[in-house]
Chain A
């Protein structure tokens, strides 16, 4: 049941509205600099993040380790801010009242736990430049094995995307990523993939 050919999303082949949730490592999530609404004449289309590895993601999958958590009371419900740190890069997770069930679940998750999420990644202009915001849509506490599998799968698909990016004929998604992130940026994502695999490997050796 291996996964392959991650160079383009197959979303358009499907009839309706589930955006594919692309497994993405922390480093790549943190460096996303552009999102957009597809110009398809459908103003209700889902916003997509332009991944530096050359794929559009309507949603992403991510399994975080909760390093810090802050719960606030919002106007219509809770807001939860989580920082996930996995060795290389911090991801700032902001759950809000829009996805109340998900936010309530995150509010109950303890520090150091692993949490599996699907999320929208949105990009905003800040005083310090572009910043990506990770807004969870679903969340659930999971075990170390799920976390390790995520690291391996996300790393594998990251490598698939990098290798597809290296091919001669680029897709429009890859050209778009090149415009934003340049042409010499891929090694850092390959490095992130290697670190993720090493992290999963160490954990598997330690825990079996």
Chain B
């Protein structure tokens, strides 16, 4: 019976974003029942009250969290107090290294109003999110941590990726050159939605619009190119990716993911690239590219003269 009560308590606390060890609750209940010679059920009420107090949960929030109350959509800047259950549409701005085995992901969410830290515990069993991508987070809860408010993604939360939320607006074409400093997630072999004209990239086998659908294989490489002054987020499409990895889409589809990833990394990261781009609001597609092109030797002498003059002047 104690185990059953403890299980229910674990679930209740999870619903407000607090992960508690079941055995810890069993031990507490049994100790109280023994010390005060009271029934297990009554002891469990004391334990619940103590845990609510220990984790700084407001009773009302605890009760609301367990009534399955409807969450409201919120902007990050409006989430100023703990224990609020909200829905947030935000971009994953950054992910950090995780040093705690009980945490699945930790990072920063960003919407048009601001940024906020988020934590997903392993026990929540949620899909992993990807930096730079937009998601709709339902039923997530704000918590105090280290003097700040952060968001917790729990078992009760749901995460839906929003791919191409708006039709990207083409801003024109541009040339850009720099060092390719990063390969972003969701590069390599991907699957696209086959539903009608939709070609959104599937995530965990699901289209953001059409749900669980069949997918068509495709190749792409999402990268960051940096010239030391500014950067561009740049996507190499199917043909360019086939060219870079030196294999067709069909061959890539039968290649191990890690192997393909290594080929892409070896071909691009740290290399200087010259690009012709089609630019959109926040990213660009590659029209044509050259990796490590010949150096324009005519630039050397003027640069040397300039360097010597500058050295003399300063």
Contacts and interface: CB of A to CB of B under 8 A. Distances in A.
Interface string A184-208: 0011001101100110110010000
Interface stretch (A13-21, A28-36, A122-130): A13-21
Interface residues of A, number: 58
Nearest to A139: B270
Interface in B295-311: 295, 297, 299-300, 303-304, 306-308, 310-311
A57 to B, nearest CB: 9
A21 B228 contact: yes
Interface stretch (A66-74, A77-85, A144-152, A171-179): A144-152
A105 to B, nearest CB: 8
B272 A21 contact: no
A138 B269 contact: yes
Given A16-B91, A138-B269, A145 B294 contact: yes
A183 to B, nearest CB: 10
A190 B271 contact: no
A17 B93 contact: yes
Interface in B273-303: 274, 282, 292, 294-295, 297, 299-300, 303
Given A15-B282, A155-B307, A198-B304, A1 B108 contact: no
- Secondary structure call for the B interface: mixed
Instruction: Indicate the member of A1, A5, A98 with the most B CB atoms within 10 Å.
Output: A1
Interface in A111-130: 115-118
A153 interface: yes
A140 B292 CA distance: 14
B104 interface: no
13 contacts: A3-B229, A13-B230, A17-B93, A17-B131, A18-B224, A18-B226, A43-B148, A140-B269, A146-B272, A159-B310, A186-B314, A193-B311, A194-B308
Interface of B: 91, 93-94, 97, 108, 110, 115, 117, 131-132, 148, 175-177, 179, 181-182, 224, 226-231, 265-266, 269-272, 274, 282, 292, 294-295, 297, 299-300, 303-304, 306-308, 310-311, 313-314
Given A1-B176, A59-B181, A118-B181, 18 more contacts: A3-B229, A14-B230, A15-B282, A16-B91, A16-B132, A17-B131, A20-B230, A22-B228, A23-B179, A61-B226, A116-B179, A118-B226, A140-B266, A146-B270, A166-B314, A187-B311, A190-B307, A201-B300
Which 7 residue pairs spanning A and B have beta carbons closest together? Answer: A116-B270, A140-B270, A190-B311, A1-B177, A194-B307, A186-B314, A17-B94
